[in-house]
Amino acid sequence: MIDPKPKLAPRALEAAAEPLGEVSIPRLYAYHRALRQAQAKGKTTITSHGLAALLGHTIASTQIRKDLCALGPLGRRGQGYAIDPLVEQLARVLGLEHDWRIAIIGFGYLGHAFATFITAREMRFRVAAIFDNSPAVIGQRWQGIVVQDVAQIEQTVRAAGCNIAVIAVPAEAAQACAERIADLGLRAILNFAPTPLLLREPIIIRNIDLAGEMSILTHRLSLLEA
């Protein structure tokens, strides 16, 4: 008999491995964003080509169909997709139904910028606690939230019921912050510090490496000049 499942790489130790590719998620989010705009304009159906056009053809319509097809039977052949159920299903898959409570650690310009940015666009993301270690910053208010001393992380994060941490501290301090966050039982970190976070627990980590992004630009620019 033929073995139906030779799959599964020795990846992180998660119970149910995701059936959905990591790279497709940001695309799904982009679809969601574009479709809500279409919704707001009163549109009720759309084709994969139409959606590609909304996205400036940065994603091929074939790719869009593949992605959406993986979420279930959402389209009608010959017709296109009904937008409402599509948006709903995307929100479900992306986990946008919950309200997420974010702890921001490090409230310099970056932490500040992130807080402002993420709450401006997405109602589902709520900043629930803010920490810094500078006396000049501790005690400040941002949208009614008082910036706490990082020493308070354990009590405050627990009390505020945070489930996502954003690390926006200098590289030297990031690892220690991450460990405390992990010990608290949080399972997701967005890390702006240009250093890898090493944790024993199975934490979901996304690194945003601004200097790394710049290096892609400079690399390709210098190729152009050659």
Contact flag: residue 208 with its own copies (CB under 8 A): yes
| CA–CA distance, 144 with 200 (Å, rounded to integer) | 35
Choose between 150 and 166: whose C-beta lies nearer to its own copies.
166
Contact flag: residue 37 with DNA (CB under 7 A): no
Residue 122 partner contact from DNA, its own copies, none using kind-dependent CB cut-offs of 5 to 8 Å? its own copies
Q: Which of 163, 189, 164, 162 is nearest to 176 (CA)?
A: 189
Q: Which of 83, 70, 77 is nearest to 31 (CA)?
A: 83
Stretch that binds DNA, among 6-14, 96-104, 109-117, 181-189 (CB under 7 A): 6-14
| CA–CA distance, 34 with 134 (Å, rounded to integer) | 40
What element of type H or E holds 148? strand 148-149
Range 108-127, binding its own copies (CB under 8 A): 108-110, 112-114, 116-118, 121-122, 124-125
Produce one character per residue of 175-198: b if its CB has 16 or more CB atoms within 10 Å, e if not.
Answer: bebbbbbbeeebebbbbbbebebe
Produce one character per residue of 15-25: b if its CB has 16 or more CB atoms within 10 Å, e if not.
Answer: eeeeeeeeebe
Residue 49 partner contact from its own copies, DNA, none using kind-dependent CB cut-offs of 5 to 8 Å? DNA
Candidate list 9, 15, 120, 224; residue touching DNA; CB under 7 A: 9
Choose between 49 and 187: whose C-beta lies nearer to DNA.
49
10 Å CB burial of residue 145 (0-12, 13-18, 19+) is middle
Choose between 22 and 225: whose C-beta lies nearer to DNA.
22
Binding mask 158-197 for its own copies (x = CB under 8 A): -----xx----------------------xxxx---x-xx
Stretch that binds its own copies, among 39-47, 65-73, 146-154, 208-216 (CB under 8 A): 208-216
Angle at 89 between CA 82 and CA 27, to 5 degrees: 95
Structural Rg of the chain based on CA atoms: 21
Residue 103 partner contact from its own copies, DNA, none using kind-dependent CB cut-offs of 5 to 8 Å? none
Q: Which residues bind DNA (CB under 7 A)?
A: 5-9, 21-24, 47-49, 60-63, 65-66, 68-69, 73-81
